[in-house]
A = this chain, B = another copy of it.
Amino acid sequence: MNDVLARVGDKWSVRVVMALAGGSRRFNELRRDIAGISQRMLTRTLRGLERDGLVSRAVTASVPPRVDYALTPLGNSLRDPVARLGNWAIANIGKIETARALFDAGSDHTKL
């Protein structure tokens, strides 16, 4: 279970899954959608997700080449738990940052 959670907890994996939530995307579309990801990391993340059966890869032999990525049913089943976690993070990021500031300022963490 640990390695499964590691995949899910990876920041790039989460962003790729979220980017594919709306439907299939091509490589460079993903690259544009996911700000800050390098080509290398996008490739590696997609391979990892593909290996785990969460993402499908469809190659169209043409010039220029075309590769479409999409969530598999398994990948889709991950959307809900990931979205809930994401929503929690968005809702509570303020509290967490406050707690961090307090903790870092002094050992006084009796609040929160």
- Please provide the 4 A-B residue pairs with the shortest distance between their CB atoms, ordered closest to farther: A53-B99, A9-B9, A53-B112, A5-B11
Query: Are A88 and B99 in contact (CB-based, < 8 A)?
Result: no
Query: Are B93 and A4 in contact (CB-based, < 8 A)?
Result: yes
Interface residues of A in 69-112 (CB under 8 A from B): 72-74, 77-78, 80-82, 84-90, 92-93, 95-96, 98-100, 102-104, 109, 112
Closest to A78 in B: B88
Query: Are A99 and B36 in contact (CB-based, < 8 A)?
Result: no
Which of B8, B10, B92 makes the CB contact (< 8 A) with A4? B92
Stretch at the interface among A20-28, A43-51, A60-68: A43-51
Q: Flag whether A2 is at the interface (Cβ < 8 A).
A: yes
